[in-house]
Amino acid sequence: MTLEKPPVFSTERLATHLMDGGVAVIPTDTVVGLAVAPMQASRIWRLKGRPSDKPLILMGASADALLHHVSVDCHDDAQKLSGQFWPGALTLVLPAQGETQDALNPGGSSLGVRIPACELTRLLLERTGPLATSSANPSGAPAAMTAMSASSYFPDLPQLGPQPWPKHSGQASTVIAWRGQGQWQLLRRGAVIPLELQSPD
């Protein structure tokens, strides 16, 4: 059986699709992702068959665009790390409240945020504003590593063009949570480990 090529949209066309509430497949610097407007985040959980108690990540094109959605208490610490590692494979989990946090992390009190080191996707994010994202795979299945593997999971979803996409690491982002002034906790080890979390052992 030969897989049909998925629909491939330009940045402008995909931005319109997303802002109209559609879901799309995008490249990142880690793995292939799903993206949707934050207020439509529930569509990703339904597509993936994923429980809504597993939060989605808010990706944006700039630190200012992302920090707008989190508590001002963590801004100084977040800006310090974002200046070192963004764009890049570091997800910051920060205290948040409001409709964006409610949409991406129902019942929670935090929001994971990141700027991907993928210029193509950052150009999209500049047009759409921050997007709710997750890896492009059904819950429990391996993460998609190529446009075609994502298409095998989600054949009807449009993908960002042009293709082929830039190479990605295939390694998930590091996830750290803010626990107070100057205090971070490692939640998931990934592509980078900030100096603040390195230990002698």
pLDDT in tens, 7-63: 999 999 999 999 999 999 999 999 999 999 999 999 999 999 988 788 999 999 999
**pLDDT per residue over 138-154, tens digit each?**
999 999 999 999 999 99
For the record, the structure tokens of 200 come out as 């002698």
Q: How far is CA 60 from CA 36, 72, 86, 162, 196, in A?
A: 12, 18, 10, 20, 24
**What pLDDT was estimated at residue 97?**
85
**pLDDT per residue over 67-117, tens digit each?**
999 999 999 999 999 999 999 999 999 999 899 999 999 999 999 999 999
pLDDT band at 167 (very low <50, low <70, confident <90, very high): confident
In CATH terms, the fold of domain 8-72+94-166 is: DHBP synthase (3.90.870)
Neighbours of 42 (CB within 10 A): 15
Q: Which residue has the higher pLDDT, 105 or 5?
A: 105
Q: Which of 74, 82, 83, 80 is nearest to 114 (CA)?
A: 82
Residues 160-186: b if buried by 16+ CB within 10 A, e if exposed: bbeeebeebeeebbbbbbbeeeeebeb
**What pLDDT was estimated at residue 1?**
45
Give the integer Cα–Cα distance in Å for 199 and 201: 6
Helix (H, G, I), strand (E, B) or coil at 190: coil
Q: Which residue has the higher pLDDT, 53 or 191?
A: 53
- Percentage of the residues of the chain whose pLDDT score is greater than 90: 82
The residue extents of the domains of the chain are: 8-72+94-166
pLDDT band at 201 (very low <50, low <70, confident <90, very high): very low
